[in-house]
Structures are given as structure tokens and as C-alpha cells.
């Protein structure tokens, strides 16, 4: 069989973009995907959840807009929302397939397992065939964690317990959903169901929701969704999942809540098991493949991009890693800058951040200061939000006179954050940044206001 330049295992964001960029760079590529092109992000994560959240936002606007002079009735058809989600996913998956064909990437829809190293490169078995490539890219993605909580495996088998994959196929709204885990994935789904009429309870082992997100931002989210009927149990340990609810411990006291569906959302781990990486002697950090800033592994010619390297499990991180890896193959100077990767939570209101918080900066020995402004400093925000509680924080390195962090909660935060990303990435001084002209009125003007406040 023909020897190709690059073998890519995994057709998610990191894998398919790596295949596309490598092919555009003149390399011959074979891409292996055992399920569907697009990976978790396109089929079970980013795109499906945002489709649902957009429908929930429209529903909320239809039912809670009397303050804006609009009143009416609305009926939410969750089954139709799921059908539209499926249509969106099908369209985008087909688009990825078309891109692979147009770039002459060979797609093999089989489970791929590394056979080992050969004189020509690396051998990968998929189906009944063995493929050889001069370089190998691991882009196998991640899988949902399943903790050893009594009753969880039985619940998964019966459908009473679901992960982010299964819940996106539910055509009926549960009356009461308990989310085990208040991280980003669990929070987005919890907020979706709470917005469309489901009673939602979040049980989180940590003292706050949303992982490393700014505590003040987390409080805004909790206050907002608390008013919409969502309950939060923090610092709580789940003891067991029964046939009709969840047992947990709060302040040493055992409690029980009945529900008709449990969302298991306690993080994800790199999907490296069974790939055959041990046959190459690739260095691992538990399940994650260890990589440098060029996405090279400990084995020359082997790269790992996306969730499988455990760096920052976000689709846009995988996209950039794919480009850096291909550039390394082509001899083009490039490297990852993980410190300027933005993070977004697509709740309503949205949350977005990039760079360091004030506490993180000071822990790193940086002479930093922070400014905080309410979103009401932006006229468009006031026009579109009744009693909005959004705000922005900018963090400045006072010695270098450089912006090093931005954290915000409010409408359009997911779109506005890219402005802050470019400001931090380019390392322009605040005096230069203040000369940028923002269109008026936009919510993004809050960044300009915050710069002057610094």
C-alpha cells in the first residue's frame, strides 16, 4: 500500500483541520474517524448545545419581554428543537466531508489502532487494512468521566443517567433534572433546561460552579438562574444514584432528591486508551499525551493535538494546535501560546475570559492591578438589558504596561472577547489601545471604557 506523508487518528476539530492544512501544504493525508466527522464538538458538544441554547434564548425573549413593550404567549416544542439541532449537525458534518474531499484527504471510517514503527514510518491498522505514514498525528479527543459512584453505571445502562452525548438526543423535557457537576458542560445544559421549564438542581463538589471562572462572575450566574428556579448545592459529595434520584452529603448530613433524569457532567479525560501508543513508547501524563509547544510528542514524527493532549480541552485550542503541528511538519516557525486562549460559557448571560485573573497574576509574581466596570457603561447594553448585572474586569501588568487578562459576563461576551484576545496577544500598550475606535453603540465599547478606567 502507498506510503503517505501524514496519518491522522481522529476526525474532530483538531484532526480534520490538521488533515486539511497538511493537504493544503502539499502533504498526502489519510484521516481515520470511527464515528462521524466533526468529533465531539460538532456532533455532541459545541454546535448541538449552542443550537439548543439559542432556541431557549428565543423562548425567554418571547415570555419575559414585557419590560421592552412586547407581550405574547409562546409554546416550547423541545422535540422540534432537537430535530433542528440534528439538521444543523448533519449540514455541518456534510460540510467537513466536502472539505476533506476537495483537499483530496482520504477518509477511512474505521477504528484505528497503532501497529508500531516501520522503516518507512508508522503503521496503523483500520478495519482489515494496514496504512503507513511518515508522520502520525493523534487527535482522538476526549471522553466523559464516569466516577465510581454507586448506581451510576446502572443508571447509564437504563437511560436514567445520561452524559452530554445522550442528553442531546432526549426528545422530551424532564420535569426535574439533577446535574452532577457544575462545570462548563453541565452548567450550559442545566441553564438550557432551566430556561425552558425543567426544574434543575446542580450538585457540585467544589465551593463554586464553573471551574476556574472568576468567583464574582459565578455569583452573577447563580443569582440569575436562582431567580429562574435553579437550585445549587455546593461543597456536596454525591453518595449514590438510585432508581429515582440522587443521594448526597451536605455539611455531614445525608440528603436525597428525587428526579426523572440525571446529567453526569464531572469532566472529561483524554481518549487515549486502546490506540496502541504503548507500542511507540510515547510519553504520557496519565491518559494525556505529553506534547511541547510545537505539539511534538516524545517520539519524533508523532504529534498530538486537541483534547487528547489534555492541555486546554476546547475546540478552538485544537484548531490552533493543528495549525502549529502542520507548520512544524512544513518547517514553518510557529508555536502555541496557551496563555492567550479564550474561554467562553454560552449561558444567558454569556461568560468569556482570556489571560490571567488578578489573583493568578499576583501568584505568578506580577505587579498587577485590576479595574472592574459594570456593563451599564455601554449604552447598547442598557438599551437591550433590563436591570442587567453584567460587568468586565481588565488586568494590567503595571511593570510592563501590558494588558494580561480580561473577564466579562453579559450579552455578546462570546463575540467581544476576541477584541481582548488581540489586545493581549499583540502586547500593545494601554496608551496605544486607547486610540482604537470602537463603533457606537456597541456592547464592545465596554472594553474602551475599562481601558480608560485603568
Indicate if 328 belongs to the active site. Answer: no
Residue pair 232/226 in contact (Cβ under 8 Å)? The answer is yes
Residue pair 41/49 in contact (Cβ under 8 Å)? The answer is no
Q: What is the CA radius of gyration of the chain?
A: 23
Q: Is 166 exposed, middle or buried (0-12, 13-18, 19+ CB in 10 A)?
A: middle
d(CA 234, CA 205): 6
CB atoms within 10 A of CB 369: 14
Residue pair 22/161 in contact (Cβ under 8 Å)? The answer is no
- Pick the closest to residue 384 from 76, 61, 52, 73 (CA basis): 61
93 to 87, 90, 107, 329: CA distances (angstroms): 10, 5, 13, 27
Q: pLDDT 10s per residue in the chain (454 long)?
A: 689 999 999 999 999 999 999 999 999 999 999 999 999 999 999 999 999 999 999 999 999 899 999 998 899 999 999 999 999 999 999 999 999 999 999 999 999 999 999 999 999 999 999 999 999 999 999 999 999 999 999 999 999 999 999 999 999 999 999 999 999 989 999 999 999 999 999 999 999 999 999 999 999 999 999 998 999 999 999 999 999 999 999 999 999 999 999 999 999 999 999 999 999 999 999 999 999 999 999 999 999 999 999 999 999 999 999 999 999 999 999 999 999 999 999 999 999 999 999 999 999 999 999 999 999 999 999 999 998 999 999 999 999 999 999 999 999 999 999 999 999 999 999 999 999 999 999 999 999 999 999 8
**All structural domains of the chain:** 3-144+269-338 (3.50.50.60), 152-266 (3.50.50.60), 349-453 (3.30.390.30)
**Of 77, 78, 407, 440, which one is the catalytic site residue?**
440
Helix (H) or strand (E) holding 246: strand 245-250
CA geometry: angle 86, 90, 95, nearest 5 deg: 150
Strands 343-345 and 106-108, sheet pairing? unpaired
d(CA 40, CA 164): 10
Amino acid at each position: 500500500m502507498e506510503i503517505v506523508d501524514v496519518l491522522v487518528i481522529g476526525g474532530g476539530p483538531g484532526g480534520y483541520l490538521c488533515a486539511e492544512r497538511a493537504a493544503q501544504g502539499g502533504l498526502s493525508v489519510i484521516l481515520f474517524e470511527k464515528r462521524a466527522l466533526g468529533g465531539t464538538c460538532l456532533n455532541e458538544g459545541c454546535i448541538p448545545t449552542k443550537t439548543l441554547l439559542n432556541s431557549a434564548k428565543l423562548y425567554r425573549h418571547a415570555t419575559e419581554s414585557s419590560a421592552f413593550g412586547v407581550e405574547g404567549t409562546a409554546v416550547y416544542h423541545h422535540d422540534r428543537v432537537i430535530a433542528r439541532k440534528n439538521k444543523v449537525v448533519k449540514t455541518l458534518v456534510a460540510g467537513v466531508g466536502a472539505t476533506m474531499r476537495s483537499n483530496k484527504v482520504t477518509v477511512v471510517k474505521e477504528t484505528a489502532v497503532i501497529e508500531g514503527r516501520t522503516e518507512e514510518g508508522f503503521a496503523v491498522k483500520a478495519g482489515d487494512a494496514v496504512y503507513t505514514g511518515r508522520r502520525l498525528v493523534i487527535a482522538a479527543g476526549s471522553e466523559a468521566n464516569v466516577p465510581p459512584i454507586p448506581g451510576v453505571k446502572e443508571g447509564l445502562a437504563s437511560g436514567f443517567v445520561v452524559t452530554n452525548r445522550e442528553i442531546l438526543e432526549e426528545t422530551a423535557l424532564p420535569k426535574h433534572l439533577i446535574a452532577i457537576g457544575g462545570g462548563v458542560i453541565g452548567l450550559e445544559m442545566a441553564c438550557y433546561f432551566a430556561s425552558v421549564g425543567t426544574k434543575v438542581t446542580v450538585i457540585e463538589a467544589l465551593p463554586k460552579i464553573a471551574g476556574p471562572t472568576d468567583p464574582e462572575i459565578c455569583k452573577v450566574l447563580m443569582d440569575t438562574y436562582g431567580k429562574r428556579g435553579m437550585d445549587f448545592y455546593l461543597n456536596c459529595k454525591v453518595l449514590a444514584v438510585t432508581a429515582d434520584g440522587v443521594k448526597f452529603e451536605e455539611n455531614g448530613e445525608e440528603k436525597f432528591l428525587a428526579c426523572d433524569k440525571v446529567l453526569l457532567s464531572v469532566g472529561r479525560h483524554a481518549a487515549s486508551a486502546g490506540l496502541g501508543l504503548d507500542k511507540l513508547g510515547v510519553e504520557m501524563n496519565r491518559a494525556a499525551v505529553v506534547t511541547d509547544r510545537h505539539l511534538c510528542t516524545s517520539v519524533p514524527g508523532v504529534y498530538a493535538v486537541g483534547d487528547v493532549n489534555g492541555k486546554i480541552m476546547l475546540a478552538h485550542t485544537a484548531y490552533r494546535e493543528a495549525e502549529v503541528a502542520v507548520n512544524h511538519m512544513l518547517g514553518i516557525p510557529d508555536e502555541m501560546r496557551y496563555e492567550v486562549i479564550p474561554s467562553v460559557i454560552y449561558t444567558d448571560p454569556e461568560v468569556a475570559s482570556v489571560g490571567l485573573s488578578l489573583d493568578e497574576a499576583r501568584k505568578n509574581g506580577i505587579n498587577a492591578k485590576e479595574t472592574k466596570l459594570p456593563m451599564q457603561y455601554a449604552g447598547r447594553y442598557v438599551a437591550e438589558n433590563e436591570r442587567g448585572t453584567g460587568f468586565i474586569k481588565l488586568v494590567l501588568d503595571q511593570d510592563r504596561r501590558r494588558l494580561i487578562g480580561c473577564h466579562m459576563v453579559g450579552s455578546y461576551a462570546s463575540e467581544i472577547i476576541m477584541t481582548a484576545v488581540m489586545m493581549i496577544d499583540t502586547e500593545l500598550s494601554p496608551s496605544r489601545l486607547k486610540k482604537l475606535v470602537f463603533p457606537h453603540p456597541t456592547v464592545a465599547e465596554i472594553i474602551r471604557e475599562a481601558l480608560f478606567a485603568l
